[in-house]
Amino acid sequence: MPMWSPPPPPPSPLQLRRPPPPLPHRPRRLRSRLSPVAASQDPLTALSRLLWGRALPPSQLVLAVRHGWTSAWGLLMRQLAPSDPTTGAFTRTLSGFPAIVGTPSARLHLYVGLPCPWAHRALLVRALLGLEHRLPLSVAVPGDDGAWSFTPDSPDALYGKRKLREVYAARRGGFEGRASVPMLWDVERREVVCNESIEIAKFLCGLADADAAAGLDLWPPELRQDIDRWYAFIYPRVNNGVYRCGFAQSQEAYDAAAGELFGALDRLEDHLSGSRYLCGDRLTLADVCLFTTLIRFDLVYNSLFRCTRRKLVEYPSLHAYTRDIYQMPKVADTCDMAAIMDGYFGALFPLNPGGIQPLVPASCDREALLEPHGREALSSSAAAGNGRQLEATSSSN
């Protein structure tokens, strides 16, 4: 009988594992980019590195983006700063309430914005003439959308509105248009009195009484013709001239505006080398209107508005003249350099899309503006001659 041997024991069950899925095939170059891409926190940077590494983007993409940005910039600029469609020259929108009609009530309220040179005129006249107790104030700030707005730190002291346009809209009949500063509001009648800066300044001169003004008259009858002549020279070439440079939408428009601006500054430098103020020894509204542009010149206009031929500090007489006015009582308190910087570099998106603010020039520091100006010794002996020369030259232009 054959020998029988039992069958071998069954094999113990194996502990099988599911094999991992195969790695997708990636080209070596793509795989090498994955680590910096994964580490990047900026999706746009990650995408650009993934597509073309550290090389420049393809020329077609550059041209497409450039065309798109230029078109968007033009659209924004047409709304922010309307221009002549044929020349590209900036054309300022007229004020909706350019003149004071009738006699306002005794209850008035002034709306201003600290970055704005036009509002600064009214704020400065109010301070120089001591009208703070007669004319309450609300300070608007540029909002994210560019509109004048109010915040908990800078509220609408009259109605508690969020936007200045809401105050305008509270007038009888409502309002459509640009809600600009300065704006003088009649509280009793719930009406806009005026939003043209030079007219508001003249009106405030009429409000000032002898005690409040302490003898200062910025709009004296005997000098009004001279003040008007200087204003007719300063406004288009300097006050509005810097905006014509900054908002020009063609090279030709910019060249024309810059030429007029610096030609006017050269003439003002010559005049003020022999006269303490524009109309002689007396500070007037003409000086107020010039000062609010000059105090912003090196701070914002030189760089942001491309007014680059010369800085204000390179004009010895104009710079000393600016320091002379800055050092008068109450004037420095109306010059908020931080608000001016933020209002221009932060709010004017088409001119500064990144919102980066440059360093404040040394010439605009408070210490520099308080340096002695040495203009006390100047007499008005040359003022009459220079004024006649201005009139003759202006009439020939």
Read off the pLDDT of residues 201-221 as tens digits, 9 standing for 90 and up. Answer: 999 999 986 444 457 999 999
As annotated, the active-site residues are 116, 243
Read off the pLDDT of residues 58-75 as tens digits, 9 standing for 90 and up. Answer: 777 777 777 666 656 566
Query: What does the pLDDT average to over 5-34?
Result: 53
| Contact (Cβ atoms closer than 8 angstroms) between residue 283 and residue 216 | yes
Question: Residue 59: left if φ>0, alpha if ψ -120 to 50, beta else—which one?
Answer: alpha
Read off the pLDDT of residues 112-170 as tens digits, 9 standing for 90 and up. Answer: 999 999 999 999 999 999 999 999 999 999 999 889 999 999 999 999 999 999 999 99
Query: What is the dihedral sign for C-alpha 342, 345, 348, 354?
Result: negative
Domain 221-377, what fold? Glutathione S-transferase Yfyf (Class Pi); Chain A, domain 2 (1.20.1050)
Q: Beta-carbon neighbour count of residue 203 at 10 Å?
A: 20
User: Among 20-24, 43-47, 293-297, whose mean pLDDT is lowest?
Assistant: 20-24
Give the pLDDT of residue 210: 41
- Model-level pTM? 0.82
Give the pLDDT of residue 69: 62
Question: Which segments of the chain belong to CATH 1.20.1050.10?
Answer: 221-377
DSSP string of 242-281, one letter each residue: HHHHHT--SHHHHHHHHHHHHHHHHHHHHHHTT-SBTTBS
Read off the pLDDT of residues 275-293 as tens digits, 9 standing for 90 and up. Answer: 999 999 999 999 999 999 9
Residue given tokens 């912003």 in the structure block: 296
H or E element at residue 74: helix 59-80
- Structure tokens given for 317: 């007489």
| Contact (Cβ atoms closer than 8 angstroms) between residue 331 and residue 324 | no
- Structure tokens given for 210: 């002898």
Give 343's contacts (C-beta < 8 A, 6+ positions apart): 113, 114, 115, 116, 141, 142
Q: Class of 108-206 per CATH?
A: alpha beta
Question: Which segments of the chain belong to CATH 3.40.30.10?
Answer: 108-206
